[in-house]
Chains A and B, each alone.
Chain A
Amino acid sequence: MTKVAIVGLGWSGFSPEVVDMSFREMMFKAAQRAYEDAGGLDPRRDVDAFISCQEDFWEGISIADEFAPDPIGGAMKSVYTVAGDSLQCVGQAYAMIKSGLFDVVVVESHGKPSDMLTLHDVMSMALDPISLRPLGLANIHALAALEARAYMAKYGVGPQHLAEVVEKAHRAGLRNPRASYAGRLNAGDYELSPVVVDPLREADIAKFVDAAVVVVLASEAAARDLSDTPVWVEGVGWRTETSTLELHDWAFPLHARMAAEDAYRQAKIADPAKEVGFAEVDNRYSFKELQHIEALGLAPRGSAAEMLLEEPSTQAAACPSTSAAARWPRGSPSKSTASPD
């Protein structure tokens, strides 16, 4: 069975509001760059299938997949949409290539949250229409705040730890040309940041940016044709815990642990803390970085916060996490988490 590699990557946007391009133009620009990065790939000739990652309500378009093919060169070719994060799309592309039917698969994802006028209402529509939505969630960050509180209480994590995560991420962003929100923060700056929903302050929450990312994946034979430096995908994993929030583990992201176990098994990684050289983890909220480091087995449960204070997981640490400041200083396009870093 063939190996799978990433052979090209392109991006556009990564600013709080892209005013001069529509989402389709952003997709086009990102695709153009990805195809160049993949050695001048011709999407009309060289690509077997395209996947677009998007959700209708984020787009403000019903059946948003209609708009996927043209900007990425996929019209009249095999194109479909995954209603999920772009990493899930990478997982789909991996499976497609592993099946032996596809040699080159393109993954596109984008988000233009600056177009959204009713973000709170959109998020409320994600709640169970019978049991939760009628309760009227006053703030979309309240659910994350509940998780943060449960995690912090269970593992003795304090605001000083969250402040450290925030400071590290903003500092790391200074090295990233796409980081809109990079900066040098200190504990005082963090404390001045207004509380949104206790315990989360404004600084704990990743700000949105508009962005599009396109990734080109290929089978081993195609990858060797297209690139001298393919990056091999050794393992993928995705898991759903439950959408019934009442039954969800608020203190520990079990879904991330299970997904990581799947990926490690494929990659033959027995001790991720030792074998993973660096990590980009989802840190859309500060506490999420700590939670995810533990769920991914990069630190024992409940120890990420103290490890952070002892040895900040920056570029200099043994296993730096979120080295290019995945969510925060660069912001959070609603679907594009396949990082261009």
Chain B
Amino acid sequence: MSRNINFKHRVAVVGAGMTLFRRRLLETPQELAWLAAKQALEEAGLALKDIDCVVIGSAPDAFDGVHMKGEYLADGAGGWHKPVVRVYVGGATGVFTPIAGWWHVASGLCRKALVVAEEKMSHAAKPHPQYVFRYIWDPIVEKPLNPNLIWIFAMEMHRYMYKCGVKKEDIALVSVKNKRNACGHPSAQLCDPNITVDDVLKSEVLVWPVQRLDVSPVSDGAAALVLADEAEARRITDTPVWIKGIGFTLDTTHWTNRDLAYPEYVRRAAEMAYRMAGIDNPRKQIDVAEPYDPFDYKELHHMEGLGLAKKCEAPILTREGVTQRDGDLPINPSGGLLGVGNPIAAAGLMKVAEIFWQLRGEAGARQVKKPVYTGLAQAWGDLMQAGTVIVLGI
């Protein structure tokens, strides 16, 4: 990999948009994609005719129930007669989509790119969208056992708790923080200003130690960004937010061989992004972060993988209030997946949009207290194997 970080075309985010995140939205996937895209274009002061290419992110085809979902979404995502590509890395797709958008612009192929992520889970399968996950396994070795995705995450959570000596109460603090943070987000699905640790601990057990309020909900939604090269970005806005670093790593398919207590693949993805961004001490140099939190323990897991906390330190920082919106290292000020909702790919892109708004000082009620110059979004996916990281800065 090239060590030359002086790219010919710097890439900026100049607009962001997103739909409501809700269960059973009545809009079609194409309509959701367009609502988010339109909002991002309006925020950038652009029209569809100004866009050179479109990058779509969406995770399993089965959620929307459409084969060749990229082609299907293209019309809604503004791809009519344009270069369109759909990329995916499972749950890590949302943060990966602007990563792919970055090289569309950095290469000089496009000057302005529309990045759109969409997922519509509600109607995917009966009796529950989780049913889609019955077909993600090795068809010979694992599928006959009919595993459930929450089972393996329960194993991971258990392992993390055991290795780091973490109590359920400490992990529940993440869920409480994020669901409260979400109350400042106009798209949020699960804002709860009065939720307590006790509520989380008393919620229904799904697979021990995972309880219902440890988990993000089933959601429909879309999010979008507009990217531009430096010359275009400076014409469009006085406050471009630069993409300073990108990183992505995919671990082996064989999840049973993984260290479940520490996400090494996230560490490597972060390392790639930090190298590009010139970051050697993320704990000090990252001002605000949106790590992926489909489960509350994952926020802690990912903070450690990202180097924002030492191994097993994230629960302590959380307990001490460091990760609160007014803390020294605000984590998931948006409310994250636990609060805003989790339409898989769109949830990851929502995180990038949040960092964009935070760095521009446009996050409204969610704006973190400290001044922020550099932020990070990260997503996670596949069989506990994918890590995608993007570093933004002003």
Residues of A within 8 A of B (CB): 1, 48, 55-57, 60-63, 65-70, 74-84, 88, 91-92, 94-96, 98-103, 122-123, 125-126, 128-130, 219, 236-244, 254-255, 258-259, 262
Given A78-B248, A101-B103, A258-B81, answer yes or no on A83-B272 (Cβ-Cβ < 8 Å).
no
Mind listing 20 A-B residue pairs with CB under 8 Å?
A1-B8, A1-B108, A48-B1, A61-B139, A62-B62, A62-B133, A62-B136, A70-B253, A76-B250, A79-B250, A80-B250, A82-B86, A83-B61, A92-B100, A98-B107, A98-B108, A125-B61, A239-B84, A242-B75, A242-B81
Counting chain A CB atoms within 10 Å of each CB, which of B1, B4, B90, B246 scores highest? B1
Contact indicator per residue, chain B 90-124, by CB within 8 Å of chain A (1) or not (0): 10000010001011101111000000000000000
Select one of A76, A96, A122, A129 contacting B103, CB under 8 A.
A96
Q: Is B328 an interface residue (CB 8 A)?
A: no
Which B residues touch A76, using CB under 8 A? 249-252, 264-265, 268
| Closest A residue by C-beta to B4 | A100
Number of A-B contacts (CB under 8 A): 194
Which B residues touch A94, using CB under 8 A? 107
Which B residues touch A63, using CB under 8 A? 59-60, 88, 90, 136, 381-382
Which A residues touch B251, using CB under 8 A? 69, 75-76
Which A residues touch B67, using CB under 8 A? 55-57, 122-123, 125-126
Which B residues touch A99, using CB under 8 A? 7, 9, 102-103, 106-107
Quote the shortest CB–CB distance from A49 to chain B (angstroms): 8
Which A residues touch B68, using CB under 8 A? 55, 57, 83, 126
Q: Is B385 an interface residue (CB 8 A)?
A: yes
| Closest A residue by C-beta to B110 | A95
Within 8 A of A (CB), among B248-262: 248-254
Counting chain B CB atoms within 10 Å of each CB, which of A69, A103, A122, A262 scores highest? A69
Given A55-B68, A77-B250, A78-B248, answer yes or no on A240-B82 (Cβ-Cβ < 8 Å).
yes
User: Are A95 and B74 in touch, CB under 8 angstroms?
Assistant: no
Which B residues touch A62, using CB under 8 A? 60-62, 132-136
C-alpha spacing A56/B66, complex, angstroms: 10
C-alpha spacing A92/B101, complex, angstroms: 10
Q: Is B331 an interface residue (CB 8 A)?
A: no
User: Are B2 and A78 in touch, CB under 8 angstroms?
Assistant: no
Q: How large is the interface on B (under 10, 10 to 19, 20 to 34, 35 or more residues)?
A: 35 or more
Quote the shortest CB–CB distance from B104 to chain A (angstroms): 6
User: Are B102 and A70 in touch, CB under 8 angstroms?
Assistant: no
Given A62-B132, A63-B382, A101-B1, answer yes or no on A57-B71 (Cβ-Cβ < 8 Å).
no
C-alpha spacing A227/B190, complex, angstroms: 56
User: Are B82 and A239 in touch, CB under 8 angstroms?
Assistant: yes
Q: Is B85 an interface residue (CB 8 A)?
A: yes
User: Are A65 and B106 in touch, CB under 8 angstroms?
Assistant: no
Which A residues touch B80, using CB under 8 A? 240-242
Which B residues touch A103, using CB under 8 A? 1-2
Which A residues touch B7, using CB under 8 A? 99-101
C-alpha spacing A119/B254, complex, angstroms: 29
Q: Is B45 an interface residue (CB 8 A)?
A: no
Select one of B72, B74, B132 contacting A128, CB under 8 A.
B72
Select one of B85, B104, B138 contacting A88, CB under 8 A.
B85
Counting chain A CB atoms within 10 Å of each CB, which of B82, B89, B133 scores highest? B89
Q: Is B383 an interface residue (CB 8 A)?
A: yes
Q: Is B203 an interface residue (CB 8 A)?
A: no
Identify 6 new A-B residue pairs, CB closer than 8 A, beyond the known A77-B250, A129-B65.
A75-B253, A79-B249, A92-B103, A95-B104, A98-B109, A240-B80
| Closest A residue by C-beta to B65 | A129
Quote the shortest CB–CB distance from B312 to chain A (angstroms): 22
Given A76-B268, A81-B88, A103-B2, answer yes or no on A68-B250 (Cβ-Cβ < 8 Å).
yes
C-alpha spacing A62/B344, complex, angstroms: 14
Q: What 6 A-B pairs come out closest when comparing CB atoms?
A: A98-B107, A99-B106, A125-B67, A79-B250, A240-B84, A95-B107
User: Are A101 and B86 in touch, CB under 8 angstroms?
Assistant: no
Contact indicator per residue, chain B 209-249, by CB within 8 Å of chain A (1) or not (0): 00000000000000000000000000000000000001111
Contact indicator per residue, chain B 47-82, by CB within 8 Å of chain A (1) or not (0): 000000010000111100111111110110001111
| Closest A residue by C-beta to B123 | A129
Select one of A55, A100, A239, A259 contacting B61, CB under 8 A.
A55
C-alpha spacing A242/B79, complex, angstroms: 8
| Closest B residue by C-beta to A66 | B382
Q: Is B276 an interface residue (CB 8 A)?
A: yes
Quote the shortest CB–CB distance from A137 to chain B (angstroms): 13
Quote the shortest CB–CB distance from B140 to chain A (angstroms): 8
User: Are A125 and B66 in touch, CB under 8 angstroms?
Assistant: yes
Given A75-B251, A77-B250, answer yes or no on A241-B81 (Cβ-Cβ < 8 Å).
yes
| Closest A residue by C-beta to B276 | A101
C-alpha spacing A69/B87, complex, angstroms: 15
User: Are B81 and A102 in touch, CB under 8 angstroms?
Assistant: no
| Closest A residue by C-beta to B384 | A66
Q: Is B193 an interface residue (CB 8 A)?
A: no
| Closest A residue by C-beta to B269 | A78
User: Are B103 and A78 in touch, CB under 8 angstroms?
Assistant: no
Select one of A65, A70, A96, A126 contacting B72, CB under 8 A.
A126
Quote the shortest CB–CB distance from B220 to chain A (angstroms): 14
